Structure 1
């Protein structure tokens, strides 16, 4: 389970590391500035879309570190363990070595949203 207070401290560490204001950070990852304010004040929890935007914008941020404090920031340079010749940009699930193709979120009203790297 996500400890929101620890998540906030790690988010602040990202801002400090890149010397960004919360407004500049919001603009960089293309979210509303109020979203960052609400997160930093503990009013809201991060959405999957928010986490994905951080992952896309900052290659040095490890999602496991951001969410759970596992690993380090900035993440150390990794030597490629598995080479995907079709698309080297696809993420690899390190525990099973399966390639994540897409994430689909289903809503209670029957709609859905698909996230994929293309």
Structure 2
């Protein structure tokens, strides 16, 4: 399966970028060395628990990147904390004055859903 191969590639890239061995990686995420070895070799698929442990241990890794990847993202030793691209702000963005307070913030997702946060 292509998506599992890509997942393994991202996991290997993460381990390499962090300068870890598979044993040290297993220790850092709190799982057995054999679990990491089996996932990396393709013998086993990663469990949800495994994936969550990875994202909890590496705060710069998003669940979305680990599972789905993003072809526009590159992991490097210099930019290992920039795995998720940050949207750029428009140059003409008006600065908020000190007296203004935020009433609500909306996030609109690519799948058509949204989330509104109200103060």
TM-score, normalisation: structure 2: 0.61
- Check the 8 A contact 2:108/2:115 in 1, yes or no: yes
Does residue 75 in structure 1 map to residue 83 in structure 2?
Answer: yes
TM-score, normalisation: structure 1: 0.62
Larger Cα Rg: Structure 1 or Structure 2?
2
Structure 1 residue ranges, 4+ long, deviating more than 4 angstroms after superposition: 76-79
1:23-82: per-residue Cα shift (whole Å, max 9, x none)? 000000000100000001000011111111111111111211111112634424758xxx
- Check the 8 A contact 1:55/1:62 in 2, yes or no: yes
Partners of 1:98 and 1:22 in 2: CA distance: 41
Q: Which residue of 2 aligns with 1:54?
A: 54
Which protein, 1 or 2, shows the higher relative CO under an 8 Å CA cutoff with sep ≥ 6? 2
Partners of 1:76 and 1:37 in 2: CA distance: 26
Q: Which sections of structure 2, spanning at least 5 residues, go unmatched?
A: 76-81, 88-106
Q: Which residue of 2 aligns with 1:63?
A: 63
Partners of 2:56 and 2:9 in 1: CA distance: 20
With over 3 angstroms needed to count, the CA separation of the structure-2 counterparts of 1:27 and 1:97, relative to structure 1, is same
Q: Which residue of 2 aligns with 1:97?
A: 115
